[in-house]
Amino acid sequence: MTGFQVQAEVLGKLLVAQQFLDVLPAKEEKASFMRQALKEIPGVADVHFCFQGLLLPGNAKYQPVHAQCGLDWEQLPRDISQQCCALEQLGVHCIALRTAHSLYGFMIISLENAEKFSPYEPYLVNMANAMAILMEKRELDEKAQKTLLNLEHQVALRTADLSRRNLELQEEIQQRKQLEEALSKAREESEARVRERTAELVQTNRALQRQISERQRVEKALRLSERRLHSIVSTAVDGIIVLDAQGQIEFFNPAAEELFGCAAEQVMGRHIRMLMPASYSERYIDSLFRLDGEGQSVHKEAAGLRKNSSTFPMELTVSEMQCEMVRKFTVIVRDITERKQAEAEHKRVLRQAEEERRRAEALAAEAERRWREAEEGRSILEALMEHIPEGITIADAPDVRIRKVSNYGRQMAGRSREALEGIPVERHVACWGLLRSDGITSPSGEELPLTRAVKQGEVVTEEEWVLQRPDGGKVPLLCNAGPIRDKEGRITGGVIAWRDITERKRVEEALKQADRRKNEFLATLGHELRNPLAPIRMAVQILRLHQDQLDHRLCQTVDLIDRQAQHMTRLVDDLLDVARIVRGRIQLQKETVELSDVIARAVETIKPLMDTADHQFILTLPEQPIRLKADSVRLAQVISNLLHNAVKYTQPGGKIELIAEGQGEEAIIRVRDNGVGIAAEMLPRIFDMFAQADHSPNYAPAGLGLGLTLTQRLVKMHRGSIQAMSEGRGRGSEFIVRLPKLAEAEQEAAPSADKVLPEARARRVLVVDDNADVAASLTMLLEMMGHKVRSAHAGAEALEIVPAFAPDLALIDIGLPGMSGHEVARRLRVDYPPGKLKLIAMTGFGRDEDRLRSEQAGFDHHLLKPVEIEMLETLLRS
């Protein structure tokens, strides 16, 4: 027992230190942290760590590590702590950082009191083990990370290899497709050849068949001839009848039997008349068989009568012969039914051919007429394209290949006919130097109007493009394009017409520039007018403080100056507000507001004017509170503008009415009067900037014509609408404002504006403004109010005054020359915290970012010029 016990606080520190070991990534940082943390253990003078021969920190007063330690770490025995035993003899305790698998180094503790330290040694051994385990864990994590990275690398390589193989496969597939297409084409060609060859063979076969038929006929003729040699009759093809001189039938061959449908024995010995129709006369029958000359045969046509009483056309060849000095007649009968039919068919075909010929001649005449028309159209088009002062391009479907460019178009493009005509769509952009309307980026061929017209049938109108000429000059174009269709509605091409709009662009830009300059001028004018107004209003406030010392006429004069200055301020405010809205510089400070409160505030500002004009004012407020998400100041400005407008244009003693009500999800505000009214032609322009209603001579325009413009813009910024109504001149007018109500769920009690302000007491006030008039008038006003005031015209001067004068409050202009108001505030805040000195910024800029800059510089408040005396009084009281 040493007498020293373990302290719980020290153990707590060791526990927390152990928690943080894992947070630090590097072992050197772990060592650095632990060195600091372990030095708080009783008895410990210093702590070092040895990692593979590296001593941390390196400024140890001893050389505690074995000589071999730094030389060949891997070769040292496992229980290397024995190598450091000698250190313990020197008052140094050495604890190995060891896990079950590895030795990571040593924790070397220099002791100033071994007895105090000894109770904590087991805990330090535990901590050394924990530290070693963390180092091993981190080493394993790093190895795992490295393995993971290696695997990811392999996966990436494998993915790349697969992608490459995929590409090769796709190429192979593509090649196979091409081969298949080639094969398919070859198959189609061979099938075509087979068809052609088959047709040839069919023709050849027919020829052969004809030859065969011919040969068969010849052979048959030969056989017949041979048979005729044996038996003319039995082998005759035609019917053969032999008659005697009286016309009696002596021979009737089988063919005749077949022709007439009766057997030879039925006709033998009978007169040939029985084979003729009964209508044939005796004489005619005799004439049929009479010879014209000796030895000459006669061909005649007649009708034959079959046994079944039907008739057929036949050709008769009658020859006279002498048989044993007896005159006989050989009649060859041939059935010519088919020939007659063929002749009839031949006549019909001839008639049809004649009709076809006539029709072809008519078509040829029509084609001739159309060709002449087309030729005339082509000439007109040629002349048009040559002389029209417009860029025109005609292209053919389907590849939008340019057929024709007008002469003016080529000149505008600065390119030759050869460079522009005949090119397909994929070369349009490059050959023409086309750019999108931004004049910078190049389009694709598919985007071009002509392409869209030809490929999609789109009619493109008034589209802007830019053409870059070869000399680098850029020409803005206005393009119209459309498809060309044939009679069936198919797109056969397209046409585009374009025009150089450089001059129009220049005029537009000039107009925009002029508009910008006008708005800048309005803003500047407003600021410049506002500055002199501040001292005038201050002077009026000063005079009012001495009102009891002024006579009646001077009081009236002060009132007059005050009214006119207020009027002037209002005009300037309108001018500034409109300029700000036009330039997007106004931001609404929206909050939950009660509509009746806002109306009350607006009415309060206008009521004195109504009283002066003896107007009858009727105010109707909603029964239930209506809450809006709105900028209360701007909304009050909307209502007061409308009321002010009603006051201006209503005769003394007239009636003005304000009605507020809720309708569904909207709040409705109506301002109605029975004044001069608005002419019907003026109503549509009543909200235009600088618009003035056409007043009667008794009501000269009082204002710039900005009030209603400003009112409409402010209402729109509140997502509302405004409408003007009048039944005409002398019939009064009504303005209706509609605003979205706050949803029930969003409604909350509007913050009360009522505050009881403490009485003002005398303050020490420093006024800093480089405008001497502003500074002097403000100083005078504050002094009149009973405060002690000093003024300065520059930042450095203000910094000099403050220590001696010790002001409670400093009013500082932001736009000071040299050192800005922000810098003055920053420097004052070094020695004067907010409780000691109140800093108020005065400026003409009231945007959110301006207020934030003031806050960051140390200002407590941010006031807009001209500073309202009421606001100043409030700040001096608080």
Can you give the binding site for another protein, defined by CB under 8 A?
Answer: 9, 12-13, 16, 19-20, 23-25, 28-37, 40, 589, 591-592, 746, 748, 826, 829-830, 833-835, 855-856, 858, 860
H-run or E-run covering 831: helix 821-831
Helix axes 8-21, 27-38, angle to 10 degrees: 170
- CB nearer to another protein: pick between 138 and 474: 138
* Nearest CA among 25, 58, 51 for reference residue 103: 51
- CB nearer to another protein: pick between 107 and 288: 107
- CB nearer to another protein: pick between 644 and 718: 718
Smallest gap, in angstroms, from Cβ of residue 827 to another protein? 11
CB under 8 A, 24+ apart: contacts of 570-574: 570/644, 571/703, 571/704, 571/706, 572/526, 572/529, 572/530, 572/533, 573/526, 574/703, 574/704, 574/706, 574/707, 574/710
Smallest gap, in angstroms, from Cβ of residue 749 to another protein? 12
Smallest gap, in angstroms, from Cβ of residue 856 to another protein? 8
Smallest gap, in angstroms, from Cβ of residue 869 to another protein? 23
Smallest gap, in angstroms, from Cβ of residue 578 to another protein? 25
- CB nearer to another protein: pick between 77 and 835: 835
> DSSP E strands: which ranges in 103-218?
103-111
Smallest gap, in angstroms, from Cβ of residue 30 to another protein? 6
- CB nearer to another protein: pick between 8 and 804: 8
What would the two tokens of residue 205 be? 């076969």
Report the C-alpha gap between 49 and 270 in whole angstroms: 157
Please state, in angstroms and as integers, the Cα–Cα distance from residue 697 to each residue in 694, 705, 706, following that order: 9, 17, 21
Report the C-alpha gap between 317 and 237 in whole angstroms: 13
H-run or E-run covering 567: helix 552-582
Report the C-alpha gap between 782 and 250 in whole angstroms: 168
Smallest gap, in angstroms, from Cβ of residue 24 to another protein? 6
Q: Give the CB-side neighbour count of residue 855, counting CA atoms within 13 A.
A: 7
DSSP string computed for 3-41: S----HHHHHHHHHHHHHHTTS-SHHHHHHHHHHHHTTS
Name the one residue in this structure whose structure tokens are 């005799």: 286
Smallest gap, in angstroms, from Cβ of residue 860 to another protein? 7
- CB nearer to another protein: pick between 27 and 428: 27
- CB nearer to another protein: pick between 16 and 383: 16
Smallest gap, in angstroms, from Cβ of residue 590 to another protein? 9
* Nearest CA among 42, 210, 13, 47 for reference residue 118: 42
- CB nearer to another protein: pick between 58 and 653: 58
Overall size of the chain counted in residues: 878
Report the C-alpha gap between 388 and 390 in whole angstroms: 6
Q: Is 226 helix (H, G, I), strand (E, B) or coil?
A: helix
Report the C-alpha gap between 175 and 183 in whole angstroms: 12
Question: How many CB atoms are closer than 10 A to CB 764?
Answer: 15
- CB nearer to another protein: pick between 622 and 740: 740
Smallest gap, in angstroms, from Cβ of residue 396 to another protein? 51
b (16+ CB within 10 A) / e for 73-103: eeebeeebeebbeebeeeebbbbbbbbeeeb
Cite the DSSP H helix spans in 236-262: 254-260
What would the two tokens of residue 749 be? 């009690």
Smallest gap, in angstroms, from Cβ of residue 40 to another protein? 7
Report the C-alpha gap between 548 and 255 in whole angstroms: 161
Q: Taking the CA atoms of 368, 370, 376 and 379 in sequence, report the sign of the dihedral they define.
A: negative
- CB nearer to another protein: pick between 524 and 589: 589
- CB nearer to another protein: pick between 130 and 561: 130
- CB nearer to another protein: pick between 23 and 100: 23
Smallest gap, in angstroms, from Cβ of residue 797 to another protein? 22
* Nearest CA among 764, 801, 810, 769 for reference residue 783: 764
> DSSP E strands: which ranges in 351-505?
391-396, 401-405, 434-435, 460-468, 474-485, 491-500
What would the two tokens of residue 167 be? 């590409």
> DSSP E strands: which ranges in 501-636?
591-594, 616-620, 627-630
- CB nearer to another protein: pick between 531 and 592: 592
- CB nearer to another protein: pick between 32 and 317: 32
Q: Is 769 helix (H, G, I), strand (E, B) or coil?
A: coil
Smallest gap, in angstroms, from Cβ of residue 41 to another protein? 12
Smallest gap, in angstroms, from Cβ of residue 119 to another protein? 17
* Nearest CA among 243, 251, 246, 245 for reference residue 268: 251
The residues facing 465 across adjacent strands are: 477
Smallest gap, in angstroms, from Cβ of residue 719 to another protein? 17
- CB nearer to another protein: pick between 211 and 856: 856
Smallest gap, in angstroms, from Cβ of residue 137 to another protein? 14
* Nearest CA among 42, 76, 52, 48 for reference residue 64: 48
Smallest gap, in angstroms, from Cβ of residue 26 to another protein? 9
- CB nearer to another protein: pick between 610 and 802: 802
Report the C-alpha gap between 549 and 557 in whole angstroms: 14
Q: What is the DSSP letter of 303?
A: E
What would the two tokens of residue 539 be? 């002077």
Smallest gap, in angstroms, from Cβ of residue 144 to another protein? 16
- CB nearer to another protein: pick between 44 and 575: 44
- CB nearer to another protein: pick between 13 and 300: 13
